[in-house]
Amino acid sequence: MLRLLILLAVVLLGVYYFFPESVEQVVEEGGDSISRAVDGVTGAAGGEASVSLVPSDTTPLETELIDAAGKGEVARVRELIARGANVNGRGTDGATPLIAAAVAGHRATFELLLEAGAEVDARDSRGRTSLLLVSSRGESELARRLLDAGADPDIKSNTGNFALLEASRYGSAEVTRLLLAAGADPNARATNGWTALRTAEERGHTSVASILREAGARP
């Protein structure tokens, strides 16, 4: 049994070393499930309703806006904004409408929210910005728009991941160039010590690795 536990610990450490964001997501989702379960039990025992996970300052309008942004419903997003929905309202996971649009890759909705004053560097409960999220998928047009709007390329998530690291992991030469041109630190390190260059090399993204080296990056 002891050997099994040691082996499991080694495997988990290895997974965290290479995929810290994935481990963080599992932990957070597990924590949310436990919180919901505890709330449900408390409500049943005390005769009270379970505690809502929605931020106290989030109104139904903001909840609808986040939903519409995530679905790419431009007309609905425009209508909700006109009705006074806060474009920087947050959902249960801390995501704003802009983050929801970034995750789903809905460009028209994304642009509409930016024009309405959405905060470009807003972070969800895992510390991820819209720029980090679009960089993780190589969405160069959205990344360019965010950087033009003043997004900080070096903001790190709760696990120390950052946009340049994600662009390197994805293998996007274009997003990598955009981030470096915007002043991203080529030698920034994640919590596990990985740099963008090391990530690109480990993944076999030679063109991205060359761009990083030219910018002064070290493994």
Question: What pLDDT shows up at residue 89?
Answer: 94
User: What 8-state DSSP symbol labels residue 193?
Assistant: S
Q: What is this structure's pTM? A: 0.75
Question: What pLDDT shows up at residue 30?
Answer: 40
Q: 129-177, pLDDT tens digit by residue? A: 999 999 999 999 999 999 999 999 999 999 999 999 999 999 999 999 9
Decide: helix, strand or coil at residue 171.
Answer: coil
Q: How far apart are CA 12 and CA 38, in angstroms?
A: 26
